[in-house]
Structure 1
Amino acid sequence: MVSSMRKDREVGHLLLLLLLLAFWEAGSGQVHYSVPEEAKHGTFVGRIAQDLGLELAELVPRRFRVASKERGDLLEVNLQNGILFVNSRIDREELCGRSLECSVHLEVIVDRPLQVFHVEVEVRDINDNTPIFPMTIKTIWFHESRLLDSRFPLEGASDADIGANALLSYKLSSSEFFFLDVQTSDELSQSLSLVLKKSLDREDTDQVDLLLVATDGGKPELTGSVQLLIKVLDVNDNEPVFDQPVYKVQLVENSANETLVIKLNASDADEGSNSEILYSFGSDVLSTIQTKFKIDRNSGEIRTKGQLDYEEMKSYEIQVTASDNGSPSMSGHCKISVKLLDVNDNRPKVLITSLSLPIQEDAPLGTVIALISVSDRDSGANGQVTCSLSPHAPFKLVSTFKNYYSLVLDGALDRESVERYAVVVTARDGGAPALSATASVRVEVADVNDNAPAFAQAEHTVFVRENNAPGCHIFTVSARDADAGENARVSYSLVERRVGERALSSYVSVHAESGRVHALQPLDREELELLTVQVSARDGGAPPLGSNVTLQVFVLDENDNAPALLAAGGGLGGGGGGPGALSPSSLVARGLGAGQVVAKVRAVDADSGYNAWLSYELAPEAGAARSPFRVGLYTGEVSTARALDEADAARQRLLVLVRDHGEPALTATATLLLSLVDGGQAPKASSRAAAEGAAGARAALVDVNVYLIVAICAVSSLLVLTLLLYAALRCSAPPSQGACAAGKPVLVCSSAVGSWSYSQQRRQRVCSGEGPPKADLMAFSPSLPPGPSSADSVSLTNLIHTILFLPLTIYKCLYFLFILNYVFLLNCCCISLDILFLLLLTSSFT
């Protein structure tokens, strides 16, 4: 009957195990294998690559690897054929103890892309452990007066295996006095008792030798034995008796030291010293129990002595003996079953593995960053762990398996905003109060080239003086790239284009690393006033990004051109610094009054501003102070300083010095030869026809003068109307803007460059009746601060200035025409009007 019950239990255990395995595989969705313990090296476990759907050819390129929280050298994978095999000895008892379930959990990890598979390898128990009794020889004292069916409890054997391999059966050697009684309290707990079936007589038999054999249920069966030496005692024939043979106690783990477990009470029917009872642990009680509990020999109180830990041992079975003081002493026995109750005294543990760091800032959502596993040694709700992440981070946890999580990307990353994240994983159990543990993951964000170099401004204005030294530094461009590393390494280059007939690179160059712009050759303002340079900045990313900046390089004038004299025909004469320009001799009639113009020196300067503002003077030669001639300071007109008389030399040689206003000033000289002749010595006509022709010419000149007078009157009327209109507009303007209102005087100062707008290219030309255009009018343009007047007022003022300038030009033309026709009266009128107009124009500008 016992054998039938044992077989039924074995069948039930197997069915339950199969159901648990089927439920586990259905719930996990992962690969499950099994392997017997103590398997030899190289034992086939399973075709793991094929079962996971992986190609053999991609195992090595994708970095196929196996990781385990347990000993990592137990199982290994052959990367050539994808077979999982036993790598080293697997001892189930060492790995899992007496736990019914024993599995090795593997994490199979492949990269590119990252995938994680969970593989469970069940370790099957084999019958490799024999039953072991606490001792090999046990001595039992039996009194001859013991009644039939008296029982003596025996300590059973233990088997390190599980299941059927640990299911023990006992057999006692043949004896006429004793038989073995086995009682099963639950599935794995058995109580053995030696029962007396025949009365003992010490005088006949003082010792009985028995052999107790324990046999496990494995295939093949393994056995263990203990030799029982039963010694028969006399005299004291009543033993102490406990209230019950087994006491069950529940005790909370981590109970304080000296906590009362139970108080035993045994009774003895004898009297006197034979009824005095002493309590003690059984002789076969394990040493581990003696370190955790203690018993008071007199009172029978059992108290805790050491720290109890549910995770170390869940229950204890303590054999207690009550012995009287008889001679010989008799004893009674009982068993205390102590069951520990779990409390939440273990914090969860967080393990972070397989970090894929750093992560690119353009990584897609859902990218796996790390694998996280949690565990808790407690049981029930105390061991159920949930995980959470610190807030305000673009990540989330995804549960991939029981107590396994993946840290994945849940939001966009920008390294320029946040370079790294300190992600805190918090694991919290379900106890009351709950315990938690944290682990930090430092997630570095790798840079990608998503930012182009940026200049502080799109355009710069640069001033460079002409005649600079070759290779001189004129400007430094600088661009900043928000990326990092090679993506932020900026290089500069020149955007090539044509400047006239030459390439821009022949004028300037830019250093690729520093951005320093250098002029490759001296610049000449007279050739090139403005040079537009475009510099490109490119980073070192792949593909590179870039941007451009524009430099407006203005060439500042220097006084590097001396005044150039104009010949009488309009071409250039002698240059500055030479021996002087020789003009043909001019005849001057004696008797001319003071102030009569007899010649004019014309010169131009290729520079601009002050450097091109010319002044004329007579060279300080011997006798120059007594010369009857003088030269206009800014007009270059040579006129009589006094009336010419007979005392003056017949030939006058004048040396005119032309000087600009540069620093230092440059000069040119012109030599004029004047011949003084009497008025009657003028060339006469050789014939009447010549005289008639001259008379006709004079008549034509008179007619021309009539037309000129009419034109002057018309222009005078236009000038008067213009002046009246200009005065009315100036006086009707607001006080802060008009010319009639009082205001603070504006100080006009020239800059270091100068504000003179006269130059070879920009000078205002004045027409005359003969010779080349005159260049003696200097138009000064001060840099006045802009007033509060509107754009309409500025436009109207500019229009009035233009209208005012038109009569001046016409008057100048008429002035030169009258010089040619010797109309001195009109010439004087024109000069007077010129002076009046210049005064009005000056007052309007100021």
Structure 2
Amino acid sequence: MSATQRSGLGNGRLLLSLLLLAAWESGSGQVHYSVPEEAKHGTFVGRIAQDLGLELAELVPRLFRVASKGRGDLLEVNLQNGILFVNSRIDREELCGRSVECSIHLEVIVDRPLQVFHVEVEVKDINDNPPVFSLREQKLLIYESKQPDSRFPLEGASDADIGENAQLTYRLSKNEYFSLELPINSKPTKKLSLTLKKSLDREKTPEFNLLLTAADGGKPELTGTVQLFIRVLDINDNDPEFEQSEYKVRLMENTAKETLVIQLNATDQDEGVNGEVTYSLMSIKPNGKSLFTLDENNGEVKVNGTLDYEENKFYEIEVQATDKGNPPMAGHCTVWVEILDANDNAPEITVTSLSLPVREDTQPSTVIALISVSDRDSGDNGQVICFLTSNVPFKIVSTFKNYYSLVLDGSLDRESVSVYKLMVTARDGGSPSLSATASVSVEVADVNDNAPA
């Protein structure tokens, strides 16, 4: 063996070692940072080059780059000092909604040799959203014959923040007739309600205008208000009553339009028109007004739009039953609709960082390309396996959750095969399963390995 051949073999072994190290590092996810949402442009996040063990001088020559799937250019790296910084506005609520955990996953890639690192940047919540009531004014009709300790449901506020920043407390403007009964944290379905403290007299006080204030747990706190208009009625009557105050229903996403969700029934102990009940929708949260209909005469709730698990998993429907008395009286119930996932999203495949063409003397286990897969479904429907065309000198190696490397698994001979047409297939665990494919063309580059004939 010549010195040149021994040198080439040594270099090949060195390259193999470096590529194996890169594959190990790509699965480690060892670097974590955190940054508050709404941080200003240029805010320091971390010394990413130093923390990844990279020298500043090698960032540009090794084509240092950062990819953040679906996250745009929220974060950038200064290649002069290796610092990760905030590049554009980060809104945690826009990024992750009400999810407790929120992070930006960065894929850091360098060449020569090819290495990939996974970096997680946790986005911390700040108290930037005040409590919001869906209505400017809530109207209540209360008979003067109502006894002290009677309770009347109120619609509470919502806060787009999380944690303490979304923990709401309520206070009512000073008055001698009404107090608040607050929700209990251990029972999230416990409704905010108004409690009557002393008997009413319509002839003395026919109406009340009270101010309800919601304050969050941030420091400093943010508040929202709603006006409560209470009309005291003069006629002693009975409220319509539902069989339950709360109902829970489960529906598969993509359930057909006009499908019956539930048939509600409220009864009124009064006779004649005072006991005849009609139904109306008070609210559908979040933003589901067009997705359900309610028959005002028979209380049937039906699907009226497309239910998408990936868009929203729960709906809260507030229904009011009103009798035909003069003045009318009302009862209320809540229907909780849980949307169940169907396998309606095929996996998606992304192939990046192709190292082409591949020399025919490339050593086995060399990384040729990086592959990532994703599926918007949940559970088994979102679990994806990835595999490659059979009978080719390549294989797919898992490096991180839903991340793979396409590596050489045998020897190449350009004189035998100059181009490989590979097919990458991703299949989810749904029943029936859905799959997606991506083609990768690998060209084999010639080396001088044949003597003249």
TM-score by length of 1: 0.49
Larger radius of gyration: 1
Letter aligned with residue 106 of structure 2: L
Query: Counterpart in 2 of 1:166?
Result: 166
Does the CA contact (< 8 Å) of 1:395 and 1:410 recur in 2?
yes
Q: Deviations over 1:239-273 (max 9, x none)?
A: 10111211111122121111111111111111110
Query: Counterpart in 1 of 2:224?
Result: 224
Q: Deviations over 1:167-193 (max 9, x none)?
A: 111111222221111233757555111
Q: CA deviation at 1:435?
A: 1.5
Q: CA deviation at 1:64?
A: 1.0
Q: Deviations over 1:794-820 (max 9, x none)?
A: xxxxxxxxxxxxxxxxxxxxxxxxxxx
Alignment partners' CA distance in 2, 1:213 and 1:256: 41
- Aligned residue pair count: 428
CA distance 1:44–1:419, change in 2 (3 Å): same
Query: Counterpart in 1 of 2:12?
Result: none
Does the CA contact (< 8 Å) of 2:286 and 2:316 recur in 1?
no
Query: Counterpart in 1 of 2:436?
Result: 437
Q: Which has the higher contact order (CA 8 A, sep 6+)?
A: 2
Does the CA contact (< 8 Å) of 1:144 and 1:237 recur in 2?
no
Query: Counterpart in 1 of 2:62?
Result: 62
Query: Counterpart in 2 of 1:406?
Result: 405
Query: Counterpart in 1 of 2:205?
Result: 205
1:279 aligned to 2:279?
A: yes
CA distance 1:53–1:190, change in 2 (3 Å): farther
1:253 aligned to 2:253?
A: yes
CA distance 1:364–1:378, change in 2 (3 Å): same
Alignment partners' CA distance in 2, 1:287 and 1:96: 16
Q: CA deviation at 1:417?
A: 1.4
Does the CA contact (< 8 Å) of 2:290 and 2:304 recur in 1?
yes
Alignment partners' CA distance in 2, 1:56 and 1:275: 80
1:140 aligned to 2:149?
A: no
Q: CA deviation at 1:348?
A: 1.0
Q: Deviations over 1:384-437 (max 9, x none)?
A: 111111111111111111111111111111112112112111111112222211
Query: Secondary structure of the equivalent of 1:183?
Result: coil
Q: Deviations over 1:630-664 (max 9, x none)?
A: xxxxxxxxxxxxxxxxxxxxxxxxxxxxxxxxxxx
Q: CA deviation at 1:29?
A: 4.1
Query: Counterpart in 2 of 1:386?
Result: 385
Query: Secondary structure of the equivalent of 1:57?
Result: helix
Letter aligned with residue 207 of structure 2: Q
Letter aligned with residue 428 of structure 2: D
Alignment partners' CA distance in 2, 1:188 and 1:406: 45
CA distance 1:254–1:368, change in 2 (3 Å): same
Query: Secondary structure of the equivalent of 2:229?
Result: strand
Q: CA deviation at 1:449?
A: 2.2
Does the CA contact (< 8 Å) of 1:36 and 1:125 recur in 2?
yes
Q: CA deviation at 1:78?
A: 1.4
Alignment partners' CA distance in 1, 2:44 and 2:237: 65
Deviates more, 1:296-305 or 1:352-361: 352-361
Identity %: 70
Does the CA contact (< 8 Å) of 1:164 and 1:217 recur in 2?
yes
Alignment partners' CA distance in 2, 1:291 and 1:58: 56
Query: Secondary structure of the equivalent of 2:376?
Result: coil
Q: CA deviation at 1:450?
A: 2.1
CA distance 1:185–1:162, change in 2 (3 Å): closer
Alignment partners' CA distance in 2, 1:73 and 1:419: 39
Alignment partners' CA distance in 2, 1:265 and 1:217: 39
Query: Secondary structure of the equivalent of 1:369?
Result: strand
Q: Deviations over 1:8-29 (max 9, x none)?
A: xxxxxxxxxxxxxxxxx9x944
Alignment partners' CA distance in 2, 1:234 and 1:355: 79
1:323 aligned to 2:322?
A: yes
Alignment partners' CA distance in 2, 1:446 and 1:258: 61
Alignment partners' CA distance in 1, 2:234 and 2:341: 48
Query: Counterpart in 2 of 1:593?
Result: none
| Cα RMSD (Å) | 1.7
Query: Secondary structure of the equivalent of 1:291?
Result: coil
Q: Deviations over 1:665-700 (max 9, x none)?
A: xxxxxxxxxxxxxxxxxxxxxxxxxxxxxxxxxxxx
Letter aligned with residue 425 of structure 2: T
- The gaps in structure 2 that reach 5 residues or longer are 1-24
Q: CA deviation at 1:130?
A: 0.5
Q: CA deviation at 1:278?
A: 0.2
Does the CA contact (< 8 Å) of 2:428 and 2:435 recur in 1?
yes
Query: Counterpart in 1 of 2:103?
Result: 103
CA distance 1:188–1:68, change in 2 (3 Å): farther
After superposition, where does 1:450-465 map in structure 2 within 5 Å? Answer: 450-454=449-453
Query: Counterpart in 2 of 1:348?
Result: 347
Does the CA contact (< 8 Å) of 2:182 and 2:193 recur in 1?
yes
Query: Counterpart in 1 of 2:269?
Result: 269
1:447 aligned to 2:430?
A: no
Query: Counterpart in 2 of 1:86?
Result: 86
Alignment partners' CA distance in 2, 1:190 and 1:269: 26
Q: CA deviation at 1:147?
A: 3.0
Alignment partners' CA distance in 2, 1:128 and 1:185: 22
Does the CA contact (< 8 Å) of 1:361 and 1:415 recur in 2?
yes
Query: Counterpart in 2 of 1:501?
Result: none
TM-score by length of 2: 0.91
Alignment partners' CA distance in 2, 1:185 and 1:37: 26
Deviates more, 1:158-167 or 1:189-198: 189-198
Q: CA deviation at 1:308?
A: 0.8
Alignment partners' CA distance in 2, 1:359 and 1:36: 44
After superposition, where does 1:806-825 map in structure 2 within 5 Å? Answer: none
CA distance 1:189–1:112, change in 2 (3 Å): farther
Query: Secondary structure of the equivalent of 2:50?
Result: helix
Query: Secondary structure of the equivalent of 1:191?
Result: coil
Letter aligned with residue 106 of structure 1: L
Does the CA contact (< 8 Å) of 1:346 and 1:377 recur in 2?
yes
After superposition, where does 1:553-564 map in structure 2 within 5 Å? Answer: none
Letter aligned with residue 442 of structure 2: V
- The gaps in structure 1 that reach 5 residues or longer are 1-24, 455-846
Q: Deviations over 1:349-384 (max 9, x none)?
A: 111111111211111111111111111111112111
Q: CA deviation at 1:288?
A: 3.0
Q: CA deviation at 1:155?
A: 1.2
Larger strand proportion of the pair: 2
1:360 aligned to 2:350?
A: no
Query: Counterpart in 2 of 1:119?
Result: 119
After superposition, where does 1:474-623 map in structure 2 within 5 Å? Answer: none
After superposition, where does 1:9-20 map in structure 2 within 5 Å? Answer: none
Query: Counterpart in 2 of 1:370?
Result: 369
Q: Deviations over 1:555-593 (max 9, x none)?
A: xxxxxxxxxxxxxxxxxxxxxxxxxxxxxxxxxxxxxxx
Alignment partners' CA distance in 1, 2:31 and 2:444: 35
After superposition, where does 1:10-49 map in structure 2 within 5 Å? Answer: 28-49=28-49
CA distance 1:73–1:287, change in 2 (3 Å): closer
Q: Deviations over 1:275-334 (max 9, x none)?
A: 00001111x445832211111111111111111111111000110000000000000001
Does the CA contact (< 8 Å) of 2:29 and 2:117 recur in 1?
no
Does the CA contact (< 8 Å) of 2:285 and 2:315 recur in 1?
no
After superposition, where does 1:741-780 map in structure 2 within 5 Å? Answer: none
Letter aligned with residue 300 of structure 1: G
Query: Counterpart in 1 of 2:51?
Result: 51
Query: Counterpart in 1 of 2:15?
Result: none
Does the CA contact (< 8 Å) of 1:70 and 1:105 recur in 2?
no
Alignment partners' CA distance in 1, 2:403 and 2:365: 17
Alignment partners' CA distance in 2, 1:137 and 1:203: 24
Q: CA deviation at 1:70?
A: 2.6
Alignment partners' CA distance in 2, 1:64 and 1:232: 71
Does the CA contact (< 8 Å) of 1:236 and 1:329 recur in 2?
no
Query: Counterpart in 2 of 1:130?
Result: 130
